[in-house]
Amino acid sequence: MEEKLSTIKSWLGTGSINIFGLPMSGKDTQGVRLAESLGAKFLSSGAIVRALEKENRKDYSKNGELIPTDVFYEWILPFFSREDLAAYPLILSSIGRWAGEEEKILEVAAENNHEIKAVVLLNISEADVEGRFNASKILNDRGDRQDDKDLAIFKTRVKEFREKTIPVIQHYKSLGLLIEVNGDQLRDNVFNEIVDKLYGKALVSQS
């Protein structure tokens, strides 16, 4: 494992890996673990948006819909040029979820030496993520996030992913950046598959 992580880290440099998946597919869980393993910084679009909505007294995403693209650019893009992140690789959780935003993300990331070198898709069915939603309500393990408590809002988030984010993922696939991982397995197994596939990509890139 350490040899694989070392190879990935060398290949990644200060580049970025963007992780996508349905709500509750484990993007942040796997993203944080990957960032810690690679000495990278983790950026979650959801966490950034929620924090800035609170700061600016806005509520664009209260119904589970994606925030407007112009607001997304204003709030998210400056993170790529932050001096405190300049020397680190970035692990991104769903940065650029709306079709069309991926081109701007690719451009700005590259301009700031955080080129997106891989995109990970955690594959899990809509039925399975709804099962996770129901389990999380019983466990009450998602804090005070209303979008993870209200089923109607959660279903809207799933619909937004299907209609707006799948085209983003397909575009990354057309560029040869996409890595697909089975998200419906034990967390350690998901992580190991991510590492294995990133390692394979790193080897191909370095050959």
Question: How many independent structural domains does the chain possess?
Answer: 1
Segments forming the whole domain that contains residue 56: 2-206
Tens digit of pLDDT at every position of the chain (207 positions) = 999 999 999 999 999 999 999 998 999 999 999 999 999 999 998 888 888 888 888 777 778 888 889 989 999 999 999 999 999 999 999 999 999 999 999 999 999 999 999 999 999 988 888 888 888 766 555 545 555 567 888 889 999 999 999 999 999 999 999 999 999 999 999 999 999 999 999 998 876
- The CA-to-CA distance between both ends of the chain, in Å, stands at 20
Cα–Cα distances in angstroms (integers) from residue 101 to residues 13, 66, 120, 129, in the given order:
24, 12, 17, 25
Q: Distance between CA atoms of 167 and 55, rounded to whole angstroms?
A: 31
What would the pLDDT profile of 163-196 be if each residue is shown by its tens digit?
A: 999 999 999 999 999 999 999 999 999 999 999 9
Residue 136: give its domain's CATH number.
Answer: 3.40.50.300
**Residue 21 contacts residue 127 (beta carbons within 8 Å):** no
Buried b (16+ CB within 10 A) or exposed e, 112-127: bebbbbbbbbbebeee
